Each structure stands twice: as structure tokens, then as C-alpha cells.
Amino acid sequence: MIVKEYEDHYLDNVITLFVEEYKVEFESYKESFIQFFEHPFQKENCLRIVAINEDNEIMGFQSFFYWPYTKDNKSYKIYQSGSSIVSKKARGKGVFQNMLNFADTMRNKYEIDFFIGFPVEASYKSFMSNGWNNPFDVQWYMKVKNPFGFLLSWMYPNNNQLSIQGPFSSPELKLENSREFLDWRRSYQNGKYRIFSFSEGSMIFEVNHKVNKRKKVFNELIIGEILMNSTDEAFKDKAFKKYKKWLFFQLDISIVSFCTNNENDNLSRRILDIGLKKLENKIYFITKYADLLKQEDCLLYRSDIDTW
């Protein structure tokens, strides 16, 4: 087995791995792969890894894409793990572990502060055995709003792409949302979004949502990110009052959901106060080379995950 950085001539073979595993359509997945990794924001930044055998066949693919965060106006070069796959005929041979080990050797080349990930259950243990940490998880909350909301879906058009104002400074580690980062995210997003925005002078409050279908019928409104550039409590009170009113009139929505790693955060607490209840469901949050990172140091939402 040889593990090395991805090269363009491996493209079709890598796509074939995903086609065989997930039964996706080859050309459409290839197009989305290119949009994701070849965009100017990621092309020279992202770390892509392949494992090949002695016959030059692709045995696995692993990527770490540039995911910039900021804390107290300082930027951090953080890389998120994603798009992991191992060929069916190569499983149980240490391919995934070898690709993770190779990523460690690339850390200095890409000037990576640390790695993060939101793994599914199937890969969680593999990361843990590779020396990753699970400092905390991201907790889901939910509220039933209008069970018959799907009957009103025709009344509520959605945006095809997010329009986020940023960057926003934060005392916690939070997505940087630079213009370059947002341009890249818009280039590959294909969801349905709704934005609530309120401002007074230079003070801005914005909540980003994604509309998801539950059981192909019920409209779920996922609160993905909360942005505020002011600490003024009077502005917060007014902004959340208007947000609650806006949320009430989203009559097509059957379920409202939200996830955060810190329910004691001021903004998260205000969102939860609209009546969301804690679920058993959690999202793993894992790190490597971030040993001193604590839960109170971060503010993570659903939008922190690449699939948002």
C-alpha cells in the first residue's frame, strides 16, 4: 500500500469508489466533487489523500478541507475531516488508519493549527484509535410547531443559497465566515434556506435556517447558525422578540430543530427558550492537536458541518 497526496489523474477512480458505495450518479457526483475541491478557496488549501495498491488501484480516499475559525479577532487554520471512503475489497487492511497517519505528516506543510471532525457512528472508533479526542458533543433540540404545515408549503418559497453577513467577531471559537469562505460554500450548496435578519444602525442579528423534509412530508426548519455583532442587551431583546414573531408565522413548518455544543451560551439559551426540548440525539465532535480546547471555548451549530 502506498499513501500519498491526491493527483488530478485519480479523479475518475476516486469518483468510482463513491458510486460503488453510495449508488450515486457518476457525472453529477463528479461535478459536485469538482465544485467542492477545485474552487479557488479550497484547491490549494485542502488536503486530499489516496491509498493505492501495487497494481495502482485506488484503495481509499480521505480529505481534510480548510475550515477557518476565529476567536477574539484571531484567525485559526483548522481542517475538517470529510469524504472518507475505503474500497470494499480493501477493508480491514488498515487503509483508513494509514491515511489518517499520513495527514499527520502533512500538518506542517499546510500550516494546520488542528483537525476537527463530525464523524458518523461507523467511523468514530477508527478516529479514536488513531489518537483523536472527543472533548464534547453537539446536542440536538426540537419543537413540534404545526403538524399540518406541509399543507401550506406552496405559500413559502425558499432561497437556494445562503446569504450570510460576516465575519462576526466572537469570544468563542466560531466559524470565520469570510467572504471567500462563503463564496465557496455557495458554490456547492444545493439546499433550501431561509434567513431571518434584523438590524439597527451597525448592529446586526441574523439566524440562518435550512428546510428539511421528514418522512418526505413534514417540513423541518433547522436553525443552523446565529450571528450577532452586538453585546447590547436591549438590542438582543428586540431582535429576539422580532425573531419569535417571524418564526411563528412560518406556518408551513411542522418541526423546529437546533443543535449547539453549549446550551449556556447567551444566544443558544435564547433560542432554546422558544420551547425546544433536548433530544437523545447528539453529533460527535472530535479533534486532534487541540488538547486544550474546552467546551466553553467553542460555539458550534449545524452549519459548522460541511454538509450544511
Task: State the cell numbers at 103.
Answer: 495527514
Residue with cell 489523474: 9
Q: How confident is the model at residue 157 (pLDDT cuts 50, 70, 90)?
A: confident
- Cα dist. 114→7, 138, 272, 296, 308 in Å? 24, 19, 30, 18, 21
- Range 35-62 average pLDDT: 95
Q: How confident is the model at residue 164 (pLDDT cuts 50, 70, 90)?
A: low
Contacts of 3 (CB under 8 A, 6+ apart): 49, 50, 51, 98, 99, 101, 102
Q: Residues of the chain with pLDDT > 70: what percent? A: 97
Q: What value, to the nearest 5°, has the Cα angle with vertex 32 and ends 104 and 194? A: 100
- Range 287-298 average pLDDT: 90
List of domains in the chain: 2-131 (3.40.630.30), 138-283 (3.40.630)
Residue with cell 481509499: 60
- Is pLDDT of 165 > 70? no
Phi/psi-derived region of residue 153, left when phi > 0, alpha when psi is between -120 and 50, beta in every other case: alpha
Task: State the cell numbers at 96.
Answer: 483508513
- Rounded Cα distance between 80 and 99, Å, is 14
The overall average pLDDT reported for the chain is 92
Query: Which tens digits make up the pLDDT trace of 174-212?
Result: 998 888 898 898 888 888 999 999 999 989 999 999 999
Instruction: For residue 282, count CB atoms less than 10 angstroms from its CB and return exposed for 0-12, middle for 13-18, buried for 19 or more.
Output: middle
CA 88: distance to chain centroid?
27
218-228/255-260 β-pairing: parallel
- Is pLDDT of 232 > 80? yes
| Number of other CB atoms surrounding residue 64 within 10 Å | 27
- Is pLDDT of 167 > 70? no
User: What sign results for the dihedral spanned by CA atoms 192, 277, 287, 13?
Assistant: negative
Task: State the cell numbers at 238.
Answer: 428586540
- Range 121-135 average pLDDT: 95
pLDDT of residue 7: 95
Structural contact between residues 221 and 211, judged by C-beta atoms closer than 8 angstroms: yes
Q: How confident is the model at residue 60 (pLDDT cuts 50, 70, 90)?
A: very high
Residue with cell 403538524: 147
DSSP string covering 235-292: HHHHHHHHHHHHHHT-TT-SEEEEEES-TTSHHHHHHHTTT-EEEEEEEEEEEES-TT
Nearest partner of 273 among 233, 237, 234, 220, judged by Cα:
237
